[in-house]
Amino acid sequence: MSEERLFSLRNRWFTVTVGGTLALALFAAAVGFIWLPSAQKDQPFQGIWNAICSAAGVPQQWLRITTATPVPLTQTSLVAMTPQLLSASSSASIGRGATLAMRCTMCHGAMGVSDANTPNLAGQFSSVIYKQLLDFQSGARSNAVMSPMVANLSDQEMRDLGAYYANLPKPIASRANALAAIDVPDIVAIGSPMRNIAACASCHGGIDHKAGTPWLEGMPYAYTRAQLQAFADGSRHNDISEQMRNVARNMTPDEIDAAARFYAGARP
């Protein structure tokens, strides 16, 4: 037995297994790469080479686009959010932001908090503030007061403002887990699975935080409710991929009210 050579064309184990494997692989490839894709009658799939390329997943322009890309009826946000956007800021940037923020104090308060039913900015994520400023500037989000305020800001100035407000202390002590409280409404803690509403807390903090979403605790009731209503009726439309519009549209007025009330009162 030790004399027997395995890797030899004289050894039937070798020829049968290698030959059989090859035959099977080639047969499967012929079916998968030529026969099955050829069942497609569309022009781009005709011919063996096209069949093979389509089955192999070679990226190609399969469809000739003849019509112009449709122009969206509403201006949408062009900002690409990543978890890493503005994750680091310099003290110089914060300092420049502090100077720029002087003009914001009228509505947003001297320390980024105000009773004027404007959103709290102190301690907000810098990427959130940066994105909203960009959207106000591009027109994706519009507001009679904010839009003209932002019109002449440079990109670096918007980054600086984000860095400054992120650096301010939050108006309320951050709680370890907002959801430990007993009176959390279902819409915040669980959402509504069958209506495709994710829990508010799964993006806005409490359960988890997603890039580009603000934290909301202590947000004025009137502000949150107005934004949810604006998302629901489409008058606010700067949410990426319609994430908030899809949520708000499916929320009942009671749920909108409960969520806004909860976040307004969510203090330690």
Partner 1 sequence: MLNSKRLVLAHFWLGFISFGGALLLGAWQMWVRSPLHPWLQNPEIYYRSVTAHGSAMGYVFPTLIAMGFGYAVIELSLKKTLIGVRWAWAGFILVAVGTVTAMVPVAMGLASVLYTFYPPMIGNAFFYIGIVLVVVGSWIWVGLMSVNLIAWKRENRGVPVPLAMFASVAGAYLWGWTAVGAAIEILFQILPVALGFKTTIDAGLARVFFSWTLHAIVYFWLMPAYIAYYTIMPRAIGGRLYSDSMARISFILFLVVSMPIGLHHLFADPQVGSGFKFMHSVFTALVAVPTMLTVFTICASVEIAARLRGGRGTFGWLKALPWQNPMMLALAFSFVMLGFGGAGGIINMSYQLDSSVHNTQWVTGHFHLIFAGAIVVMYFAIAYDLWPHLTGRAMTQWKLMRWQLWLWFIGMIVLTFPWHFTGILGMPRRMAFFDYTNPELAAQAMSVIISTIGGLILVVSAVMFFIVLIRAHRGARVVVEEYRFSTAVHESKTIPVALNSFGLWLALMIGLTLFNYGYPIASLVSRSDTSVPAIPIGGPQR
Cβ 151 to partner 1, closest distance in Å?
A: 29
Cβ 129 to partner 1, closest distance in Å?
A: 15
Cβ nearer to partner 1, comparing 60 with 235? 60
Please spell the DSSP secondary structure of 35-73, one letter per residue: IHHHT--SGGG-SHHHHHHHHHT-----S---SPPPPPS
Q: Which of 120, 262, 267 is nearest to 199 (CA)?
A: 262
Distance CA 187, CA 184 (A): 8
How far the first Cα of the chain sits from its last, in Å, is: 81
Cβ nearer to partner 1, comparing 1 with 144? 1
Cβ nearer to partner 1, comparing 192 with 229? 192
Cβ 32 to partner 1, closest distance in Å?
A: 3
Distance CA 129, CA 152 (A): 16
Cβ 233 to partner 1, closest distance in Å?
A: 26
Three-state DSSP at 209 gives strand
Rg value, the chain, Cα: 29
> Which residues of the chain form contacts with partner 1 (CB under 8 A)?
1-2, 4-7, 11, 13-14, 17-18, 21, 24-25, 28-29, 31-33, 36-37, 52, 54-59, 82-84, 174, 177-179, 184, 186, 189-190, 192-194, 199, 202, 205-209, 211, 215, 217
Cβ nearer to partner 1, comparing 216 with 244? 216
Please spell the DSSP secondary structure of 88-102, one letter per residue: ---HHHHHHHHHHGG
Cβ nearer to partner 1, comparing 96 with 131? 131
Cβ nearer to partner 1, comparing 189 with 258? 189
Token pair of 55 as six digits: 């089955």
Cβ 88 to partner 1, closest distance in Å?
A: 11
Cβ 27 to partner 1, closest distance in Å?
A: 8
